[in-house]
Structure 1
């Protein structure tokens, strides 16, 4: 009996040790999400900033400073907001840039993404975007009018324009690094996502749910982006940087936080 107890104790101890070891040794890829404003206008967003000249010497100096800080992460991959089906084109442009045969456009995908990837000595930059049209948007205003819910769209517009004025003021008064830090605060991320969740989702509720379906279009796009991101991370990647429009970050952050293959790095821990 004593022998059996000894064996049982040994097996339990071995199981605990093995489980603990497995937990301690599980590799998680660190991922840093950087929400940005779009440097070039006009863009595809319904509400967007009237940005200033990011090619001006002052802004170029700030971009150098920002990417020098981000370089310290020693990231293995840089992912940008370009469609996956444009990877070959982006590869060509990035390779030309590495050989000093390409001048960066004003796009933040190049001004931050290409510039940072080069500083990290990366041979490749990853495209992870995919564009799903907001298929139900055309029906939202029709439904809102039919259901006497136009006030929701008016409130949404007022909130969005107020947010744009706030961001415009921040952009005009601060360096790019400070702007990036500001727009990635939890409060600002919530404000952006609430435009969908607070207003759109109510339209048609209880009947055709057009508002909810429009919100689902936004979530679908971000889920597809998320799928592209996790499909392009391999087991050897220790650190990945994702550079995307700020509006995408709340959803992408939520998705990645619930995937135990990843450790989401808080931006304020990097841009101190």
Structure 2
């Protein structure tokens, strides 16, 4: 009889542990992905938007309005497009900022990220970027010349410039919030990703696959960023805000939507 009681106690304990674990695993972390334009011109992208003065009184007021709305999420982490290896120096700058000893420069990482984190009373802004060079680009261009596919790069340039001009127009006539709402629509996110998938991936197909390898460089960087994101999210985090260049969002969104630990929050549901 004692043996049966022991087995019964073990099964009850096992059931309790399994049930508890199951309940914890069902808790999803909400993650809000905000694709941004770069406020400054870092000259790291082939096509860049010539931005205006984000330190003007008008834009600063818009940034206050934006981050006031975003702070209502009560997020427990804010993540930005800054190399993970720069966490310590970023922490120092953020500490200076929250103690009123640092003026924010023209960077969406700080103008939005630092400003929002301060409103949320967070101790830190997480750096989750990982830069991989586009190591296959030169081979891709050479392959395009060899295979009479330079027209693909020309078409890519035409679409990219049209997109940049469109965003420039949106920025001139709208607020920062309105621009962010626009560039994060499914149509605009798809348009950005299509530059890689419609044009570059086709170069060298069936031969050296130089275009596909070039696209893989972009995917590798975003996979590394995704790894950093999920590695820094804890069970206690109910809500996370990620602020990154718009071009990253389609891939990051796909990866996070297919991880059942997360619930991706659409930006339009917050910026109404």
Residue pairs, 1:220-231, within 5 angstroms = 220-231=220-231
Aligned to 2:43, the other structure's residue is in SS state: coil
Aligned to 1:132, the other structure's residue is in SS state: coil
Distance in 2 (alpha carbons) for counterparts of 1:151 and 1:169: 27
User: Counterpart of 2:103?
Assistant: 103
What whole-Å deviation, never above 9, does each CA across 1:126-165 have from its counterpart, x for those lacking one?
Answer: 0000100000011111110000000000000001001111
Distance in 2 (alpha carbons) for counterparts of 1:176 and 1:166: 14
Distance in 2 (alpha carbons) for counterparts of 1:141 and 1:86: 32
Runs of 5+ consecutive residues of structure 2 not aligned to the other structure: 1-14
Distance in 1 (alpha carbons) for counterparts of 2:160 and 2:177: 23
Distance in 2 (alpha carbons) for counterparts of 1:248 and 1:25: 27
Runs of 5+ consecutive residues of structure 1 not aligned to the other structure: 1-14
What whole-Å deviation, never above 9, does each CA across 1:162-183 have from its counterpart, x for those lacking one?
Answer: 1111111001110000000000
Runs of 4+ aligned structure 1 residues displaced above 6 Å come to: none
User: Counterpart of 1:126?
Assistant: 126
- Say how many residue pairs are matched: 257
User: Counterpart of 1:196?
Assistant: 196
User: Counterpart of 2:271?
Assistant: 271
TM-score, normalisation: structure 2: 0.92
User: What RMSD over aligned residues (CA atoms) do the two structures have, in Å?
Assistant: 1.7
Aligned to 1:236, the other structure's residue is in SS state: coil
User: Counterpart of 1:11?
Assistant: none
User: Counterpart of 1:236?
Assistant: 236
> Is structure 2 residue 92 aligned with structure 1 residue 92?
yes
User: Counterpart of 2:248?
Assistant: 248
Distance in 2 (alpha carbons) for counterparts of 1:120 and 1:190: 31
CA, structure 1 residues 78+204, in 2 after alignment: closer, same or farther (shift >3 Å)?
A: same
Residue pairs, 1:26-105, within 5 angstroms = 26-105=26-105
Aligned to 2:180, the other structure's residue is in SS state: helix
